[in-house]
Amino acid sequence: MSSELTELLRLAGRAPSAHNTQPWTVSPSGALGYALSWDPDRELPVGDPTRRDLFLALGAFVEAFLIASGAAGVPLRVEWTLEPGQTRVARFVRADECYATPFTAADLRGRRSARGAYIPGVLPDAVLAEAEAELAGTAGLWRGGTRALAPLLEEADRWLFGDRALVAELRRWLRLRPVPAGRPQALDGLTGRALALSRVEERVLHEALRPIAYGVLRPVGLPRVLAASSRGLLRYDGSVLVVTAPAGSTPMELLEQGRRLFRCWLRLARHGYATHPLSQLIDCGRTAERLAGMVGARPLAVFRVGRPVDEPVRSVRNTD
Ligand SMILES: Cc1cc2nc3c(=O)[nH]c(=O)nc-3n(C[C@H](O)[C@H](O)[C@H](O)COP(=O)(O)O)c2cc1C
């Protein structure tokens, strides 16, 4: 791999993806360009059967790659190559000028999902307006209170932890417990630290989700217990943001919305605000419907936003 591509990937690889699957692959293509596709082994067929999160993440990656190219002084622009039945997404081709963006390498490195406690406080109107401006044209942004959504989150978590196939898929991407000495550290997925779990909580979750334990405990209330443990997550006075979009977005629209969503998160991060996506609220049919009723439109992404009490961990990447 060329040193230019290595440098671009180290930065662009900081893009977010559901379960930190990092589904993107980039290879040299044509004269001084690059081709982007996705790795079907890194899809989430159970949790993301419509590929909503896949295309949002790939859109975020496109934006991150262009920001990285601008930061590295490499003039590139994107050409979409998406076709039904193919895993090709886009080509980055040489341009006359570098990608124009207010975001920098420091923004890519600094943005993080934060799943621990947030300092109470509503997202200020001025910051909300700036975040919404990043979505302009492709999606809307709704701000609600954390407490109002707490019962919905508990219901969505109960649904999630009660579904065998969803839990099996989640388990594939969980990297709980320290890796034994001598074994390589996985550079994808979700560690206990990234999930803001204590050592004890990490251990308990690891044991409870093992296939045999889960099979025994699921019928006797494990989903309720696990959902109850996240009950406190929204029981403070803060903000949840919901990105809304017209129903039935095409993959191309999702890619564009993913670019915008990422810019929205980068804009919030500039102001010191971290985000914590709560996609189970829109993956679970019942809670998605109720959320759509509250918001008055179809929710495309939902996340709490705030200033984290503790500095969030830097999540792992294959390209670090
Ligand atoms: C489309 C999308 C959906 C996501 N859904 C969730 C979610 O439901 N719960 C969660 O904790 N994180 C979610 N995330 C955050 C990812 O897990 C996170 O981006 C990844 O672990 C990398 O960490 P980072 O954002 O700190 O770089 C989502 C991210 C994306 C792009």
244 lines ligand 1 (CB under 6 A): no
Instruction: Report the candidate in 105, 77, 71, 108 with the shortest Cα–Cα distance to residue 90.
Output: 77
* In a shared domain, residues 80 and 159: no
Q: How far apart are the CA of 200 and the centre of ligand 1, in A?
A: 23
90: containing domain: 3-110
Indicate if 85 and 125 belong to the same structural domain: no
20 CA distance to ligand 1 middle (Å): 6
pLDDT computed for residue 184 by the predictor: 82
Distance, C-alpha 39 to centroid of its chain? 17
| Ligand 1 atom with least separation from CA of 313 | 26
Q: Which of 142, 160, 159, 157 has its CA nearest to residue 291? A: 142
- 318 located within any domain: no
| 85 lies in the same domain as 139 | no
Q: 41 lies in a domain? A: yes
Residue 314 in any domain: the answer is no
pTM for the model: 0.97
> Which one-letter DSSP state was computed for residue 75?
-
Give the dihedral sign, CA 43/46/47/50.
Answer: positive
Last residue of one domain, picked from the residues 110, 137, 166: 110
User: Which atom of ligand 1 is nearest to 19's Cα?
Assistant: 17
pLDDT score, position 48: 98
Supply the pLDDT for residue 139: 84
* Chosen domain end from 80, 110, 140: 110
- Residue 178: the pLDDT is 73
Is residue 153 domain-shared with residue 41, that is, in the same domain? no
Cβ proximity of 223 and 209 under 8 Å: no
Mean pLDDT by 10 residues, the chain (320 residues): 92 98 95 93 98 98 98 97 97 97 98 97 98 90 97 96 96 87 89 93 94 94 88 94 93 96 98 98 97 96 98 95
201 part of a folded domain: yes
DSSP state for residue 39 in the 8-state scheme: -
- Please report the pLDDT score of residue 42 as a whole number: 98
C-alpha of residue 280 to centroid of ligand 1, in Å: 11
Residue 320 lies in a domain: no
Query: What type of residue sits at position 40?
Result: P
pLDDT at 179: 75
How many domains is the chain built from?
2
The pLDDT, as a whole number, for residue 30 is: 81
148 and 292 both lie in a single domain? yes
Q: State whether the beta carbon of 20 lies less than 6 angstroms from ligand 1.
A: yes
Q: What CATH number is given to the structural domain containing 27? A: 3.40.109.10
CA atoms within 13 A on the CB side of 203: 3
Kindly give the distance from the C-alpha atom of residue 13 to the centroid of ligand 1, in angstroms, as a whole number.
Answer: 13
In a domain, 315, yes or no: no
Give the closest residue (by CA) to ligand 1 atom 15.
18
Q: Are residues 125 and 263 in the same domain?
A: yes
Please indicate, yes or no, whether residues 105 and 123 belong to a single structural domain of this protein: no
Among 63, 88, 110, the domain boundary falls at 110
By C-alpha distance, which of 137, 304, 167 is closest to 227? Answer: 167
| Ligand 1 binding pocket includes 53 (Cβ within 6 Å) | yes
Q: What is the pLDDT of residue 71?
A: 98
From the list 246, 267, 255, the residue with the least C-alpha distance to 132 is 267
Q: For residue 97, how far is its CA from the centre of ligand 1 (angstroms)?
A: 32
181 lies in the same domain as 81: no
Q: Could you give the CA distance from residue 218 to residue 220 in angstroms, rounded to a whole number?
A: 5
- Looking at the structure, tell me whether residues 71 and 34 fall in a common domain: yes
- pLDDT for the residue 247: 85
- Three-state DSSP at 109 gives helix
- Asked if 30 and 152 sit in the same domain, the reply is no
Are 209 and 202 in contact by the 8 Å Cβ rule? The answer is no
Q: Do both 141 and 9 map to the same domain?
A: no
Residues 177 and 28 both lie in one domain: no
